[in-house]
């Protein structure tokens, strides 16, 4: 017997998500997914690796024949999508990571965390933490993934993400208290906009609202600077017309003030793409501003001066 789907909408979070009364979830911005592959244009290879049930990664490495050094900086990347959209296999992220790995010469691990609302937050944070631990467990060269054992430089570990992924980056740095990261790149970070966010409240049932430290870390500037003490360099990128620009600017300003008063001793970089909206670079990678943003993030990762001993985390 044919099952008739409900058309009655229970929650409407357009243009991202709709929830129907029968429990059906409709993702309105879902993109095509693609398998891992060798990309002949960027000469970057990729493969999928399952960490544990429900959590996987897509790993990228540049063509080994073009490498000057036997060990590559590590980039752990967290995709965006309001915690409820996209995946590591989405075509926009496959294309972006291919280009970023080619430009920076790093080995990248794109984390495929489970999405809300099927897996209510904070599952995405916990999955991302497990994936980070898994990557760092290879620092003794005895881990299960050969690409990490053979190619990765665990003295140069970077975290990066866009939108919700940048929010996850901040959470990872806070959890990894005993670990020093060479740097984090926050691309159009999602930290709310000062208003009640119905989608956030729905996806994260246990949130405390606009003052939730995961949603709004700048609400407590002193605590935020102390939490980022294990991060040596921070790059904050915003879009001039991004609806989340102001919170990204606040994140930068809090760290800048920390530099001035000695509460945070890391290096701070900033980039604004004038006239561009939220994560425009994923949808218009050929525009000049997107190319400039890609180069800036790649240069941040390939900077050889940021090298610090990294303490491996236990799983």
- Omega before residue 187 within 30° of 0, cis: no
Catalytic, 22? Answer: no
Catalytic, 278? Answer: yes
Q: What is the DSSP annotation of the chain?
A: -PPPPP--EEEEETTTEEEETTS-EEESS---B-----BTTTTEEEEEEEEETTEEEEEEEE-GGG-SSSSEEEEEEE--STTTS--TTBHHHHHHHHHHHHHHT-EEEEEEPPPTTTS-TTHHHHHHHHHHHHHHGGGGS-SS-HHHHHHEEEEEEEEEEETHHHHHHHHHHHH-TT--BSEEEEES-----SS--HHHHHH-TT--STT-TTT-GGGSHHHHHHHGGGBSEEEEEEETT-TTHHHHHHHHHHHHHHHHHTS--SEEEEEEETT--TTHHHH-TTSHHHHHHHHHHHHHHH-TT-----PPPP-
Catalytic, 163? Answer: yes
Q: Looking at 102, 242, 273, 281, which residue is catalytic?
A: 242
Extract long-range pairs of 274-279: CB within 8 Å, 24+ residues apart. Answer: 274/240, 275/240, 275/241, 276/239, 276/240, 276/241, 276/242, 277/239, 277/241, 277/242, 277/243, 278/163, 278/188, 278/239, 278/242, 278/243, 278/244, 279/80, 279/162, 279/163, 279/187, 279/188, 279/239
Q: Looking at 163, 170, 171, 232, which residue is catalytic?
A: 163
Spatial CA neighbour of 234 closest among 261, 201, 256: 256
Q: Looking at 138, 170, 278, 281, which residue is catalytic?
A: 278
**Which residues are designated catalytic?**
163, 242, 278
């Amino acid at each position: 017997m044919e099952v008739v789907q409900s058309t009655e909408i229970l929650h409407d979070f357009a243009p991202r998500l709709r929830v129907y009364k029968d429990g059906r979830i409709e993702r309105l911005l879902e993109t095509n997914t693609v398998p891992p592959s060798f990309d002949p244009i960027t000469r970057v290879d990729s493969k999928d690796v399952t960490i544990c049930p429900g959590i996987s990664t897509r790993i990228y490495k540049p063509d080994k024949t073009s490498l000057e050094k036997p060990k590559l900086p590590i980039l752990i990347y967290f995709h965006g999508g309001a915690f409820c959209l996209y995946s590591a296999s989405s075509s926009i992220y496959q294309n972006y990571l291919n280009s970023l790995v080619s430009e920076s010469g790093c080995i990248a691990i794109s984390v495929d965390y489970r999405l809300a609302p099927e897996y209510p937050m904070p599952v995405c944070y916990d999955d991302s933490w497990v994936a980070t631990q898994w990557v760092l467990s290879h620092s003794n060269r005895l881990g299960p993934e050969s690409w990490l054992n053979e190619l990765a430089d665990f003295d140069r570990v970077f975290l990066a993400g866009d939108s919700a992924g940048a929010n996850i980056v901040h959470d990872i740095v806070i959890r990894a208290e005993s670990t020093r990261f060479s740097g984090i790149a926050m691309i159009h970070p999602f930290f709310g906009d000062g208003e009640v966010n119905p989608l956030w409240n729905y996806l994260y049932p246990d949130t405390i609202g606009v003052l939730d430290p995961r949603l709004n870390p700048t609400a407590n500037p002193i605590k935020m600077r102390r939490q980022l003490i294990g991060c040596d360099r921070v790059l904050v990128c915003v879009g001039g017309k991004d609806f989340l620009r102001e919170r990204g600017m606040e994140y930068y300003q809090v760290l800048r003030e920390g530099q001035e008063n000695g509460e945070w001793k890391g290096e701070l970089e900033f980039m604004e793409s004038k006239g561009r909206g939220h994560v425009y670079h994923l949808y218009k990678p050929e525009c000049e501003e997107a190319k400039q943003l890609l180069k800036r993030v790649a240069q941040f990762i390939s900077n050889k001066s940021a090298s610090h001993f990294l303490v491996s985390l236990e799983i």
